[in-house]
Structure 1
Amino acid sequence: MLTKLMHSTGVLLMPLFFITNLNAQIDSFDLVTFKPPIGWEQQTFQDVRNYYTINQKNKEWCKISIFKSAITTSTLKQNFDLSWQQLVKQNLHVNNEPEMQKPIKEQEWEAISGYAPFNEGELSGVALLVNATRKNTTVNILVMFNSAVYTSLIDDFLSSVQFKQSVSDSTLVIQNNNQWMQIETPVANSKFTFNTTNFDDGWTAIEKEDWVEVSKDNYKVLLHYPKEGTIFPADTDPLVRTAWNILVAPRYSNLTNFRTTYINTFNRPYIGFGNAVSNVTKQQVYLVLFKRSAGWIEVITPTKADFVSTFHFDPESIQWDSNADVLQTLDNMSGRNKFAVAAADLFGTGKWTDRFTSNTYYTNIYTGQSAGMQTYASTQWFNFDGSNHYEWQLIATNSFGGRTGVLQSKSNGVFESVNNWQIRFSDISGKPKVYDVYFTAQKGKRVLWMNDAQYPGSGVFTGFSK
């Protein structure tokens, strides 16, 4: 049986068919047999087989992912919608609903496909998802590409796809090489030069659509961006459960051994943890949701023992009077939301502003009565035009005893990168100045952090945002 999956431009023409008599000359993965693209790189994990090719010169690429079959009780369209949500929308910036093709049927197998463009900066392209369902079994094939040069190769691949009735002894056995969490996903839609940071201790941070993903070996940490409904005044259990339901639960199933806990200390830490099954990989994982110094941190490890060996505490042992110092390694992960800055990232971005206010209350040491209050406030901003020119201004006020002093300073000039972590300005208050700089990522934007490189003071950076 043959069907055509047509791109709206008429460029993409991809047949797909089902037969039950298997061709021994073609490769197979789980319930899918196919003719692999010649010369492409191959990655085989327990739950997915990837084929990909990259033309570095022309920045053209294509990736085909064949996922292991899963048990289902849903209809064909429901399976497609769920798979699109988990495999495409959660990992790619897709604005449009998929353009659906008519479903086809061959014996007991049914298939449906849909495609949509995604916008991921240099990784922008088209995502095409094929979902096949037979009784209580469903299979997904995801194709992503950014150039029409690959359409004939995709056509050849999908034309070769066959679906078995069941897994036989001759089916290729995929070994688990501890790659359960390495289903690759593109970075978030970013206008900035750097969206990956490789830290000296082996951790790697990648900017994603809803979080910064920090990974090392078999472990993954998600630094969630602020999200409505996840921060509010409440006791530990209702706050953690609410945040869990919003940030974690939609990507997992079969949650067991879930608990929440806290330590009664300054800047109280909130912790939730349990075992669950990933909706994408179908693997059992150990999950910890944590919040203290910054936003919510989600940790994903294969087992609890892996978590303990990495972060040096057992969440189940934490109670109200525990020593909060044991949480420091995990709390420090929030500092992995850190990306280099290129001067070109600031060209034409307009005004970046920092506002600061502090109050100091005085008390008479003899009487104990109030001796007044001092208020300091400042506003500082940079305005970047369409090239490497800038304007800078600082306004600061200091109020005490009914008097207010005002300080103003402004200048303009040109700026340039010293390296990926420093920028030199030609004139700040009458002299050149080099700043240590980095970005932190938030959903759809960045915060620019700066500190005087020559006189760093306490080392606390000032954050500028738009």
Structure 2
Amino acid sequence: MKNTFLVLLYVLTTLSSYSQKGTYDMVDYTLPAVGSWTKDEKNSFVTFTHINAQNNWCQIIIYKATASAGTIDADFNAEWNDLTAKDLSITSGPKRSPVKKTGQWTSVIADGKAVFDGLDMFIRHQVVTGFGNRVSIIGKTNSSKFLSVIGQVNNSVRLRNPSAASTAAGVNGNRSPVKEPLTNATGKEASVKFQFENTNWDDGWITTSSENWAAVTKGNIRALIHYPNKQADAYHSVLKQGLQNAWDLLVAPRYSNIRNYELKPVQSFESIAFAEADATEKLTGSQVHIVLFKKHFSNGNGRYIEFITTDKRAYEQEFGAYHNDEFGWDKVSNMQNRNRFAVAATDLAGKWSGSDYASLSYYYVNSGGFAGATATSISNEFTFFNTGKYESDHAGASGVVGNQKFARQVYKGDFTVNNWDMELKNRFEGASEKYSCYFEAVKGGRILIMIDRQGSVLSLVRQNK
């Protein structure tokens, strides 16, 4: 499960809107005249990005040469895995074209698709090998209309025969996969990578994590599970006002020509927030139907979910029509439970902690005066090591405030984790303890959820090293 972390490419150089010839390392290339191209050169690759008025984008990446593995098949497999598939959620491909030979150079082109922020992204990866070198030219776009542009770049590529001094003997610089442009990103990139960047559910849904939400997709339907947002989640005594506030913050900035807009909340014990509209999606230029939904669970764990479909009928076919009733929303509200990702042992290295607190105040029946309070607080801290060892420290206090009893327990032992299950050795009285586990994506990282066999839930946050 992979998914790339997305960042905004900063404008360093803007090339004019005519065909542009250039040379990078061993590659001569020509950029077609589709409009201005933004150039960004790094230590071992250069990118050229074009974004049109409809926010459709095309990106060309040319990498410096690195040492060949000896055959075009071995070179292509290595380049595809390291530069394309490693950090992307590939949904189809690679579909390879026939091998082409030009003098001492051999090349192959492969097409594929990946999930980019809940949308399809087209990929065309060209690998050229010869003289002991291999080179990658990669084109990416969110619109099939730009595939012909990428094809023109591929056809223009010519490789220069290297001198003996420039023949590659290894990787030239850091050939990290290039991030895709996102016009509404914050420009911040998560500092921690996780092994599982997407979840493939048995019923066909796919979840990927992004900067501001977990995107759940199936066919043409997208559900964006927005991460907790202090402003959007702020309490409003009038439900409709809170819903309007959330719409303005989470939804409206990414759309234009918003019409047929309705706010239709349902007041109840666990109230339903529901708003819908038709609009133009700025990123793609597509006409879409939007539903913003949240069930206000009594435990406070409700999340705003933004559903994006081709039209209102498509939404209702999948999730049912709106109804002014507090019941019958399970299929919609349960979508927030798809913000879950499997856990690998390598993801856990470091310290994770969490705490819980509860209190109860007492008052005299006759006078109404304060009669005292009881409180319970618990803190849990786990440290996981790359050696398969763990340490945990559990401290708690409970009882009448001012006269509480304190307790602490420390455990050490081995641990194993297998995607959704974890086992810790040497727990209470030396016994093993089993947990269900998963990651929930949040802005800037993930929360580790551990649930023991009694149903007790631990929500743990990674501590800074």
TM-score range, shorter chain: 0.5 to 0.7
Q: CA deviation at 1:384?
A: 2.5
Partner of 2:250: 247
What are the Cα deviations for residues 185-225 of structure 1, in whole angstroms up to 9, with x where unaligned?
99x85511111111222211111122111011221100111
What residue identity is the alignment partner of 1:257? N
Instruction: State the distance in 2 between where 1:401 and 1:373 align.
Output: 6
Partner of 1:343: 345
Instruction: State the distance in 1 between where 2:271 and 2:442 align.
Output: 23
CA, structure 1 residues 440+159, in 2 after alignment: closer, same or farther (shift >3 Å)?
closer
1:94 touches 1:116 (CA, 8 Å); kept in 2? Answer: no
Instruction: State the distance in 2 between where 1:275 and 1:409 align.
Output: 56
What residue identity is the alignment partner of 1:399? G
Partner of 2:94: none
Partner of 1:99: 12
Partner of 1:130: 50
CA, structure 1 residues 131+352, in 2 after alignment: closer, same or farther (shift >3 Å)?
closer
Instruction: State the distance in 2 between where 1:152 and 1:306 align.
Output: 38
Instruction: State the distance in 1 between where 2:137 and 2:281 align.
Output: 34
1:286 touches 1:301 (CA, 8 Å); kept in 2? Answer: yes
Q: CA deviation at 1:125?
A: 7.8
1:222 and 2:224 matched: yes
Partner of 1:32: none
What residue identity is the alignment partner of 1:309? Q
1:439 touches 1:449 (CA, 8 Å); kept in 2? Answer: yes
Moved more, 302-311 or 150-159: 150-159
Q: CA deviation at 1:230?
A: 1.5
Partner of 1:280: 283
Secondary structure of the residue aligned to 2:391 is: strand
Q: CA deviation at 1:442?
A: 0.7
Instruction: State the distance in 2 between where 1:242 and 1:302 align.
Output: 25
2:6 touches 2:181 (CA, 8 Å); kept in 1? Answer: no
Partner of 2:59: 142
After superposition, where does 1:408-423 map in structure 2 within 5 Å?
Answer: 408-417=408-417, 419-423=418-422
Partner of 1:465: 461
Residue correspondences, number? 332
1:271 and 2:274 matched: yes
CA, structure 1 residues 438+113, in 2 after alignment: closer, same or farther (shift >3 Å)?
same
Partner of 1:354: 354
> What's the RMSD between the two structures over aligned residues?
3.6
1:393 and 2:396 matched: no
CA, structure 1 residues 116+94, in 2 after alignment: closer, same or farther (shift >3 Å)?
farther
What are the Cα deviations for residues 402-427 of structure 1, in whole angstroms up to 9, with x where unaligned?
6322221101122222x211122222
Instruction: State the distance in 1 between where 2:61 and 2:203 align.
Output: 32
1:236 touches 1:261 (CA, 8 Å); kept in 2? Answer: no
CA, structure 1 residues 268+282, in 2 after alignment: closer, same or farther (shift >3 Å)?
same
Partner of 2:451: 451
Secondary structure of the residue aligned to 1:263 is: coil
Instruction: State the distance in 2 between where 1:130 and 1:142 align.
Output: 6
1:236 touches 1:260 (CA, 8 Å); kept in 2? Answer: no
- Work out which of the residue numbers 137, 148, 152 in structure 2 matches 1:157: 152
CA, structure 1 residues 377+326, in 2 after alignment: closer, same or farther (shift >3 Å)?
same
What are the Cα deviations for residues 286-329 of structure 1, in whole angstroms up to 9, with x where unaligned?
10111224221100011111111211232xx43xxxx2112221
Instruction: State the distance in 2 between where 1:403 and 1:300 align.
Output: 54
1:96 touches 1:117 (CA, 8 Å); kept in 2? Answer: no
Instruction: State the distance in 2 between where 1:239 and 1:115 align.
Output: 43
Q: CA deviation at 1:143?
A: 2.8
What residue identity is the alignment partner of 1:313? A
What are the Cα deviations for residues 48-101 of structure 1, in whole angstroms up to 9, with x where unaligned?
xxxxxxxxxxx9xxxxxxxxxxxxxxxxxxxxxxxxxxxxxxx85336513223
Instruction: State the distance in 2 between where 1:125 and 1:298 align.
Output: 36
1:262 touches 1:271 (CA, 8 Å); kept in 2? Answer: yes
CA, structure 1 residues 160+279, in 2 after alignment: closer, same or farther (shift >3 Å)?
farther
TM-score (norm 2): 0.62
1:427 and 2:426 matched: yes
Relative contact order (alpha carbons < 8 A, sep ≥ 6): 1 or 2 greater?
A: 2
- Work out which of the residue numbers 310, 314, 318 in structure 2 matches 1:302: 310
What residue identity is the alignment partner of 1:265? S
Instruction: State the distance in 2 between where 1:422 and 1:248 align.
Output: 35
Q: CA deviation at 1:138?
A: 9.6
Q: CA deviation at 1:114?
A: 1.0
% identical aligned pairs? 27
Partner of 2:199: 197
CA, structure 1 residues 211+117, in 2 after alignment: closer, same or farther (shift >3 Å)?
farther
Instruction: State the distance in 1 between where 2:426 and 2:197 align.
Output: 29
Secondary structure of the residue aligned to 2:451 is: strand
CA, structure 1 residues 225+128, in 2 after alignment: closer, same or farther (shift >3 Å)?
farther
Q: CA deviation at 1:144?
A: 5.0
Partner of 1:406: 406
1:354 touches 1:465 (CA, 8 Å); kept in 2? Answer: yes
- Work out which of the residue numbers 29, 38, 62 in structure 2 matches 1:114: 38
TM-score (norm 1): 0.62
Secondary structure of the residue aligned to 2:415 is: strand
What residue identity is the alignment partner of 1:130? H
Q: CA deviation at 1:240?
A: 2.4
Partner of 1:206: 208
Q: CA deviation at 1:117?
A: 7.7
What residue identity is the alignment partner of 1:445? G
Instruction: State the distance in 1 between where 2:205 and 2:413 align.
Output: 37
Secondary structure of the residue aligned to 2:423 is: strand
What are the Cα deviations for residues 218-265 of structure 1, in whole angstroms up to 9, with x where unaligned?
211001112353122333333323322322223221110111121111
Instruction: State the distance in 1 between where 2:388 and 2:209 align.
Output: 25
What residue identity is the alignment partner of 2:271? R
What are the Cα deviations for residues 92-127 of structure 1, in whole angstroms up to 9, with x where unaligned?
533651322331448xx7721114489xxxxx9865
Secondary structure of the residue aligned to 1:111 is: coil
Q: CA deviation at 1:357?
A: 1.1
